[in-house]
Structure 1
Amino acid sequence: MKKNDIQVCDPDLVDGKYSIKDLVDIDHLRMVFEKFSQLTGYTTGFLAYPSMEILIATGWRDVCTKFHRACPASSCHCKGSNVELFKNLRESRQLSIQRCENGMVDGATPIIIRGKCLAFLSTGQALFSEPDLERFKKQASIYGIDEKEYIEALKKVPVVSESHFRRTLDFLSEIAVILAERGLKNLELIESRTHYHNLVEGTPDLVTRVDVNGYFLFVNHAAQEIYGLSPESCIGRRVFDFIHPEDRKSTEAAFKDWLKGGMDVFTHENRMLGADGCVHYLAWSICPEYDEKGKVSGFASTAKDITERRWMEEALRASEFRYRELVNLAVDGILVGSHEGVITEANECMCMLAGKSRDELVGKHISTLFSPDVLNKAPLRFDLLQKGEVVVSERTIIRPDSSAVVVEMRTRMMPDGSYQSIYRDITGRNKAEDEIRRSRQFSDSVINSLPGIFYVIDSNGKLIRVNENFLKVSLYSMEEALSMQVLDFFSADEKEEVACRIKEAFEKGEASVEAGFLSKDGKKTAYYFTGYGARIDNTNLIVGLGIDITDRKKAEADRDKIEEQLRQSQKMQAIGQLAGGIAHDFNNQLMGIMGYAELLYNRLDDPTLRNDAESILRSARRASDLTRDLLAFSRKGKYLNVPVNINKIIEEVISLLEHSIDKRIEIRRVLNASPVMISGDPSQIQNALLNLAINAKDALPSGGEIMFTTEKVSMEDAFLSAEERRKAVRGDYMKICVIDDGIGMDDETKEHLFEPFFTTKQPGKGTGMGLASVYGTIKVHKGAIRVDSNLGEGTVFSLFFPLVGDKSEPAGSETVQARTIRKSKILLVDDDDEVRTLVSNFLSSFGHEVVTCRDGQEAVDLYRSSWKDIDLVILDMMMPRMNGRDAFFEMKALNKNVKALLISGFSIDGEAQGLLDAGMKGFIQKPFGRKILSQTLGNVL
């Protein structure tokens, strides 16, 4: 089979190096599979991928080996069936069962290591039912094989149930998983050994392993340099044979002492003598190895060649001995005394330090230089001098003028029994050290009082100083922190950016970055880091400070969210004003259409023409419903204000839904709110909830769940921004949620969700006013609405209404008795010619005398001259020159008892309600008919 016949996954070897043959024991596996075939009667096949080499084949049937695979005509069917069998195997424990074109049933499962398929484990060459002999005889004829032998081989093929075959293949899939796990462990072992080998052979140090008797078991390439032998030549030789003869005894003694102790890590320095005669100084680190019983089985060691260092140290000591004497004679005080401590010689510098002449010093005991207090605290140690030690001490010399000088006194016994003392004036040094100490304490105090985390890093990114806040936030000790790189405190996705800013600070002298600071427990905290380049002691450093910006980031996120909500609110308010204006003007047009259609209907006798007039009326009413939705969105629609039981409204909505929606949709309610009364228009609230429920229904084309919930929340939960809260009704709110688990919506849909005429439905399936009217209803009830939705995750609409406590619901409206209307003189004021003419006709038909004006200013002028003759003024609200409001107050100034009726395309809410409160007798919302006008006049007149 060609490699390209199957594409299961990346056909490379694991890490480009290892095939399945490198990772499992093929011979042992073949023995196991042969026993499996003997016990179960099932065949096994173990194929390498991508080569498709058959590594193991046990129990294979003659019908396949002697006929199907041997015959060129049928073997191509075997190859094609193998492609189908293996091509979709992508994951561990995945099974593939195929009936090959030659009639046999085969199954396979993959062996996946590190996400790559390295082999397949297969079984098969079986049947699920008794063979159709005619088919196989025909097949023998087609393939040109001996029919009798072919049928005899076929009879040996086992017939098994599909479930038994699948269980067997399941078992083999578990074997495949075990093989994958074993292969992975072998792969990791190979990698570990490779890593160990690279590490050991890559170091310049000597690395060895010896047994308990000191014989080499392993030695790396450094043996050639140290011992003058190849690593192979060292194996079996004793390590102590290479120790320099002069160091052998002391090394063996030190090693034995270590063995008697706790056997931690043995460190030692000695000389090694190589086979080539070269001597090397080595610094050893040796630790024991233990067998499975906890007994020492050998020792592992590393040794660093310190030959050059030792030569340098010895040369340095010789140089220091020669030259330090000369330097000290020049700059330090020197005294020579007898073994009893009597001064026999003093140089000029010593005389200056003591404040005495040479004659005053010579012959005196050395103790005369110091006060009794100094000697009591630090006696002169002649006993140590006699042992050959150099005695160093810090003392204060009191001069004859009572001044003091602090000296470092270094004394040693000479070969002739005399002593030599060198006195170095360290008064200035002590003052400087005190100053440095105070300066360090001050800088530590300042650094630790900084509000953030302070750090200093070198050019390699290593921390060399941090403050206490750094340790407090990171949860590391000072020792741990100063052993780490600064990038260790940042996550992988931010390391590159932080590294760039560090480089910038070194190059430009300053840089800053916002990043998450990782503490020891994995917690990430948002910080703003600033770093400044500095050069101290000829070393380039970065000195920086990190400030915790968690609260700032949260505040910015909250601010952005509130600003977005405010922008959305302002946009919806602007759209609402536009929609309200359109609806007002449209209502004026509908007023004329509906009015004249009603007049036509009443005057026509021809049934056909009356039907046409009635059709006009129906169309106008539908248009009126559309303007009603627009006015609801703009919060200028007709609006009642009565106590409303929300639970009752929800139950009514659910009752309507249960009789109209798909039976696959389940409706649930969780009504936890108490109290349940709000103030508003029950019809508008019911319509809003019904619109949301229908929207939820449309999001569930295959069924699902719609849930209604209620709960009491605070004003802060309902209004997120300070501006909204300032305008909101104080107190608790009713939160109503309409929830579905449907298709959800994307951000673009949510952006335009409440805009008039926006719809995602097909043409003719919706007007796009449902959610716009819901938005208007919520706003006119001084509430709030929020939507949470993501594609594929359902939708939650949350509505918030001010609670009004436990007010009872209003009683049913009383029947208004018809009143007899007396004939009156009425002043009609409207800027729309059609509306003015129509209403004038209505009034005249009632028997009233009608006077008309085009605007408020004209009406006020007329009313000023003849107000005593006018019984009623009918005013439009929106007019040029002077609107209805101003005209009403001008007339009221002329006649405080003026009777006025307001007509408007807007609702009673807002300005209209204010005019009613100021004394207007009634209000009619356009468009209205003859009957509504008659009823209202009856109430007013």
Structure 2
Amino acid sequence: MRAPIPTNETERLAALRRYELLDTPPERDFDDIARVAASVCGAPIAQISFVDDCRQWFKAAVGLGLRPGPRDESFCAHAILRPELLVVPDTHQDPRFAANPYVTGSPHIRFYAGAPLVTRDGYSLGTLCVLDYVPRQLSEEHADLLQVLAHQVVTEMDLRRSLAVEAGIQEDRDRVQAVVQRERAFLRRIIDTQPSMVFVKDWEGRFVLVNEALARCYGSTVDGVVGKTDADLNPDAAEVSHFVQDDREVMATRSMKLIPEEPVTDSEGQVHWFSTVKVPLVNEDGSCDKLLGVATDITAQKRALSALKASEQLHWTLGEAAPGFVWTVGADGIFQYVNRTWKEFTGSDCEDLNAHGWQRFNHPDELAEVERRWAAAAAGGTAFEMELRYRRRDGPYRWMLSRIVPVKDEHGTVTRWVGSSTDIEDLKQMEAVRRANDERLRQVQQLESVGRLAGGVAHDLNNMLVAILGYSQFVAQGLAPESEPRRDVEAIIEAAGRSAALTRQLLAFARRDLIEPRRFDLNGTVLAGERMLRLAVGEGIRMELHLAHGGLYAYADVSRIEQVLLNLILNARDAMPDGGQIDIETRRVFLDESYANQHPGTAIRPSHYVMLVVSDTGHGMTPDTLARVFEPFFTTKAFGKGTGLGLATAYGSVKQAGGLLWAYSEVGQGTVFKVYLPEASESDEAPVPPRAGAAAGEGRMILVVDDADLVRATTRRALELKGYRCIDVAGGSEALELLRAGREPVDLVLTDVVMPGLSGRDLGSRLETMRPGLPVLFVSGYTEEDIVKRGLLEAGRPFLAKPFTPEAIAAKVGEVLQRRSLT
């Protein structure tokens, strides 16, 4: 690209001509400055050039000839446009010079740094520049020195013009000499401030000029070193011989030589490492008997490089010792390293990966996502992490946690990627088990919540059903047996009875109804119901029994377990409309802690259990259906074919017995239900209750305590019709006040269990102290956990479940009074 013309071009060209430098022969002072510039900056080329109206002309040059060139192709034409240093690290990357003939052709310049030669009047006439064949950077220190040397060129120009104008005047000569001395002193300060060793040697190897850095290395002064040879200063003869050989070669060939690294032994015998450049100082007649050398101490870099190699070895060792994958890949996608674990797992190495790619080791389901994340990371130079599966050399996949991070240089450019992968297959399996357990626990908790709701609903319904059944029977007793109104009332009584059965199912699911557990033989129960079960399944389904040998005793409410077995058989039958097989199996098993841990929320304690298994070959259930199989009112049957309470009730009955009901199913493979019941001991025989009495009321006083008005009214009327006298109150506290007053003798207290304020249980406890021997009959829509946990029935507490008919409550009151009269 052609450089713009300076705005002061006319004045600038006039100033250039006043110096009378163009087309003059080479001069040693300018040549020396060019050599120093090349040596200090470590460049193979240095030039002092001037730019006139159409060309670039060289006053001095190191490494290239002095042939002028067109101004349009000149680097210096750009440099004179600015007062500061122009540095072009890489001409290929600079649009001003990328197409320049000196870049695209010989001598193939890749680096340029030019300091403008600015006169005292402010005119930039040319440059002192250094060039190189490779891209590079110019340190701040070298940049400053190049500008100082450019100032020296201008000084030499001024001196030359002054000498030409005032050649015969001694005063001016002295002044010029002083300037020269100052400049030489300035140059001395320059080389003495150099951290590198700067020296000039002659053909005999004597030091002609040295800086303080070299003098310090040999434990001497500048004056103490000048005139001596390496042999006088360096105790290592081999090093001295090497120095002499290189020096003679440079001066004999008149060629610069770069020694990347060489040892130098100091005055104390310590070895330092230097990178040295030696440049021949050619005389005007073409002979060469001196050289300029610059040696830079690279001992720290050598140590750092050694430490780096040790670090790389350590990292390689860590990679080989790592149990997971470790690998590196260049920014160009070429694999540089894979560790032993990768090779053993995949059977692949870097050569194979670079030839055939890595994608074949990823699972097809994750490959697209891996490639997407790789592309995003490469575009942004960011790390990424993901879980994915890798294929082992023998076929199976294993889950890995992989993390890939970029390695960047000082400019933030990614130079390579480092990746690692940790085997998490076992963790994934454990996580899957944990999620399954969490889901089972959620289902159990959900069933518990629904159970509490169902129990509350059933309790309220039972209170209503007491009134419906009671008043319906009162009405029926006053109607003719075959009359239409009597049949209507009996229909109401039948519907209320069915509703009572529904609430019993709800209470069984909620585990809040009263049970009568006892020791029974599970095998005997199955055999006793076999005929009924075969009739229930029909002729198109085979049913086989696989019962354990001998007695198999469980502790539960046998009537509930019979209902559970029937529910399971009916569900199995409905799952096989086209026929199939049902198997019933019994066995004695031991459930340990591991089984309990795998079934969270089941409250199973490690112990012996009696197991009942019902399996079928039906259509099976989907995972979603299986997850809801014990929910109340959930059914897959057609409308009107089922209530959705059968399995929910079975679940509640088994759990209330302290057992576990578990289901497993696969679509097309059938379903298995396993019932685990507590094993009974010899002491678990249930007591035989006394027979109910049927005595009339005979005017005995009954205190009815219930917070439901309709229940109190119905109960009172039912008892009065049987000859009892009744007093009713709405709560336990009112009952205590009435009894304390003693206005009426009370023969029996009939109380609801769950009431606001003082509960029926608390009322019974206080009556034991206040009126010892007074009979108390408990009634409730459910027992609440007070009754189940505290075992009131087992302790002999009389109890009647709601809803009850007038005959049932009267009979129960008579039974309790009869028991009292017998004790």
TM-score (norm: length of structure 1): 0.53
Q: Which residue of 1 aligns with 2:188?
A: none
Deviations 1:639-695 (A, max 9, x none): 111123222333334332223433221112344599833210111011111111111
Deviation sequence 1:770-827 (CA, Å, 0-9, x none): 22211211221222323333443322223333334x5488489577374867763221
Q: Does 1:565 align with 2:440?
A: yes
Contact 1:863 1:891 in 2 (8 A): no
Question: 1:721-750: CA deviations, max 9, x gaps?
Answer: 68526x433424444332111122345544
Q: 2:450 corresponds to which residue?
A: 575
**8 Å contact 1:778–1:785 — kept in the other structure?**
yes
Matched, 1:724 2:596: no
The equivalent of 2:781 in structure 1 is 905
**Aligned-partner Cα distance in 2 for 1:773–1:368:** 102
Amino acid at match of 1:528: L
Q: Secondary structure at the match of 2:417?
A: strand
Q: Tell me, in whole angstroms, the C-alpha distance in 2 between the residues paired with 1:437 and 1:909.
A: 75
**2:467 aligned partner:** 592
**1:195-217 C-alpha deviation (Å, 9 max, x unpaired):** xxxxxxxxxxxxxxxxxxxxxxx
**Per-residue deviation, 1:922:** 0.9
Between the aligned partners of 2:784 and 2:583, the Cα distance in structure 1 is 34
Residue 499 of structure 1: CA displacement?
1.1
**What secondary structure is seen at the aligned counterpart in 2 of 1:765?**
coil
Deviation for aligned residue 1:756: 3.2
Q: Does 1:369 align with 2:237?
A: yes
- After the TM superposition, which of the residue ranges 498-507 and 739-748 deviates more from structure 2? 739-748
Code of the residue aligned with 2:670 in structure 1: it is: G
Alignment of 1:462-611 (within 5 A): 462-471=334-343, 473-474=345-346, 476=348, 485-508=357-380, 509-536=382-409, 540-599=415-474, 606-608=481-483
CA contact (8 A) 2:406 2:414 kept: no
Q: Please name the residue that 1:828 is paired with.
A: 704
Shift of 1:767: 3.0
| Residue of structure 1 in register with 2:818 after alignment | 938
The structural deviation recorded for 1:528 is: 2.5
Paired residues of 2:206 and 2:228 also in contact (CA < 8 A): no
Report if the CA contact (8 A) 2:631-2:648 is conserved.
yes
Partners of 1:922 and 1:940 within 8 A in 2: no
Identical amino acids, percent of aligned pairs: 27
Shift in CA distance, 354/783, structure 1 to aligned 2, threshold 3 Å:
same
* Distance change (3 Å), C-alpha of 1:866 and 1:455: farther
Contact 2:509 2:650 survives alignment (8 Å):
yes
Q: Cα–Cα, structure 1 residues 396 and 503, in superposed 2: closer, same or farther, change >3 Å?
A: closer
Whether contact under 8 Å (1:335, 1:346) holds in the other structure is: yes
Matches within 5 A, 1:264-303: none
SS in 2 for 1:687: helix
Which residue number in structure 2 is paired with residue 100 of structure 1?
Answer: none
Match of residue 678 from structure 1? 554
**CA pair 912-560 structure 1, distance change in 2 beyond 3 A:** closer
1:823/1:468 Cα in 2 relative to 1: closer, same or farther (>3 Å)? Answer: farther
Go from structure 1 to structure 2 and tell me whether the alpha carbon gap of 1:918 and 1:808 turns closer, same or farther (over 3 Å shift). Answer: closer
Q: Specify the alignment match of 1:241 in structure 2.
A: none
In structure 2, the CA distance between the partners of 1:550 and 1:347, relative to structure 1 (3 Å rule), is farther
Identify which of structures 1 and 2 has the higher relative contact order when contacts are C-alpha pairs closer than 8 Å and 6+ apart.
Answer: 2
On the 8 A contact 1:573/1:634 being kept in 2, the answer is: yes
How far apart are the structure 2 equivalents of 1:867 and 1:678?
A: 51
CA contact (8 A) 2:555 2:684 kept: no
In structure 1, the partner of 2:11 is none
Which segments of 5 or more consecutive residues in structure 1 lack a partner in the other structure?
Answer: 1-314, 317-322, 325-329, 337-342, 372-391, 410-421
The residue number in structure 2 matching 1:667 is 543
Q: How does 1:608-619 map to 2 (within 5 A)?
A: 608=483, 615-619=491-495
Q: Note the alpha carbon deviations across 1:101-129, whole angstroms, 9 max, x for none.
A: xxxxxxxxxxxxxxxxxxxxxxxxxxxxx
Tell me the SS of whatever aligns to 1:903: strand
Native 8 Å contact 1:529 1:544 kept in 2: yes
SS in structure 2 at match of 1:659: helix
Residues in 1 aligned to 2:726 and 2:502: alpha-carbon distance in whole angstroms = 32
- The answer to whether 1:637 aligns with 2:637 is no
- 1:869 counterpart SS class: coil
Counterpart Cα distance in 2 of 1:444 and 1:817: 90
User: Normalization by structure 2: what TM-score?
Assistant: 0.59
For 1:808 and 1:886, the matched residues in 2 are separated by 30
- Residue deviations 1:575-622, cap 9 Å, x none? 222222222222223223333454556666645577666555444333
Shift of 1:879: 3.2
Give the superposition deviation at 1:698: 1.1
What stretches of structure 2 of length at least 5 have no aligned partner?
A: 1-106, 109-131, 134-195, 240-258, 277-292
The answer on 1:837 being equivalent to 2:705 is no
- Aligned mates of 2:728, 2:432 — CA distance in 1: 59
Give distance in 2, aligned partners of 1:723 and 1:746: 22
Q: 2:333 aligns with which of 444, 452, 461?
A: 461
Task: Look at both structures and tell me which one has the larger radius of gyration over its CA atoms.
Answer: 2
Q: Which amino acid aligns with 2:406?
A: G
**Amino acid paired to 1:757:** F
In structure 1, C-alpha distance between the alignment counterparts of 2:207 and 2:529, rounded to whole Å? 114
CA contact (8 A) 1:829 1:874 kept: yes
Instruction: Output the aligned Cα RMSD.
Output: 4.8
Structure 1 counterpart of 2:674, from 798, 806, 811: 798
Match of 1:714 in 2: 591
More deviation, 582-591/808-817: 808-817
Partner Cα distance (1:515, 1:434) in 2: 38
Which amino acid letter does the alignment assign opposite residue 466 of structure 2?
M
Q: 1:742 to 1:687 in 2, by over 3 A?
A: same
Question: Which range moves more in the overlay, 629-638 or 553-562?
Answer: 553-562
Aligned to 1:412: none
Closer, same or farther: CA 457–922 of 1 in aligned 2, 3 Å: same
Equivalent position amino acid for 2:505 in 1 = D
- The 8 Å contact of residues 201 and 208 in structure 2, kept in 1 or not, is answered as no
Inter-partner Cα distance in structure 1 for 2:325 and 2:358:
12
For 1:714, give the aligned amino acid: L
> Cα deviation per residue 1:329-369 (whole Å; 9 max; x = unaligned)?
x9999999xxxxxx9989999999999999998999x9982
Change in CA separation of 1:913 and 1:837 when aligned onto 2, cut-off 3 Å: farther
Of 839-848 and 632-641, deviating more is 839-848
Matched residue SS, 1:742: coil
Query: Number of residues paired by the alignment?
Result: 577
Q: What does 1:122-521 align with in structure 2 at a 5 Å threshold?
A: 369=237, 402-404=269-271, 431-444=303-316, 452-471=324-343, 473-474=345-346, 476=348, 485-508=357-380, 509-521=382-394
Structure 1: which amino acid aligns with 2:367?
K
Contact 1:757 1:768 in 2 (8 A): yes
Counterpart-to-counterpart distance in 2, 1:578 and 1:483: 67
Give, as a single letter, the amino acid of the residue that structure 2 aligns with 1:801.
L
Label 1:674 to 1:574 Cα distance change in 2 as closer, same or farther (>3 A). farther
Bigger CA drift: 661-670 or 811-820? 811-820
Please state whether the residue corresponding to 1:709 is helix, strand or coil: strand
Judge conservation of contact 2:590–2:607 (CA < 8 Å) in 1. Answer: no
Quote the Cα distance in structure 2 between the aligned partners of 1:830 and 1:456: 81
Cα shift at 1:569: 2.0
The AA in structure 1 aligned to 2:470 is: G
Where does residue 389 of structure 1 map in the other structure?
none
CA distance in 1 between partners of 2:689 and 2:734 (Å):
39
